[in-house]
Amino acid sequence: MADSFFQVGKIKSKLEELIPPEVARFIPVYNAFFETMIRYVDPDVSVMKVDMVDALPKGDQVTQVMVWEDGLVTCLSECDGGLLEVANGYGCTDMLVLNEDALDAVGEFLNCSNGMFVSELSKQGTFLELLPPEAEPLEEPLVENAICKMMVKARGRNLFFTVAGLA
């Protein structure tokens, strides 16, 4: 599996190849995510090719909704300790368990990443509302069928970054 990981510095220029065409509109969200991950969590973050999935992940996660005519949701979810590594890297802490404080730190990270995306859109004249991050799964009827899930390796652990359009 290690051979399928790509360094983010190399992948950013290849996002159009890695992300399926039906969800190419999400590329700016991924760009903002990678910039934030490199700056605050792990300069050597790695990612795998995006997979199209039928539903948002289950289990420990933090989601954030962005509302405008083409709203979307981003979600960071647990794989093998990756959420705790994001919390520790972003929060400059040494938490040992994925608890409410850790999920709050992950929410702040996600808010920072999505804020970069929202800010860039506002420069182009598109304004949207960034809702507060939530450490609870979204109800499925809110999400359309275009759901992209990417495995991200940060600080030696994996997590999922998922982007979905709102129905």
**Span 25-67, pLDDT tens digits:** 888 898 899 889 989 999 888 876 678 888 888 888 999 998 8
Give the residues across from 158 on adjacent strands. 153
Tell me what pLDDT residue 42 has.
92
- Residues 6 or more apart in contact with residue 32 via CB below 8 angstroms: 113, 114, 116, 117, 120
Q: Which long-range contacts (CB under 8 A, 24 or more apart) does 93-97 make?
A: none
DSSP 64-108: EEEESTT-EEEEEEESSSHHHHHHHHHHT----S--HHHHHHHHH
All structural domains of the chain, each given as residue ranges with its CATH number in brackets, are 2-166 (3.40.1550.10)
Sequence-distant (6+) residues with CB within 8 A of 100 are: 135
**110-166, pLDDT tens digit by residue?**
999 999 999 888 888 888 889 999 987 666 556 666 788 999 999 999 999 999 887
Share of the chain above pLDDT 90, in %: 40
Average pLDDT over residues 4-32: 73
Mean pLDDT within 78-105: 92
Model pLDDT, residue 3: 38
Nearest to residue 126, comparing CAs of 68, 166, 64, 66? Answer: 68
DSSP 160: E
Among 20, 10, 34, which residue's Cα sits nearest to residue 147?
Answer: 20
Token pair of 72, please? Answer: 């979307």
Predicted confidence band at 109 (pLDDT cuts at 50, 70, 90)?
A: very high
Encode burial over 145-159: b for 16+ CB neighbours within 10 A, e otherwise.
ebbbbbbbbbbebbb
Query: At 131, is the secondary structure helix, strand, or coil?
Result: coil
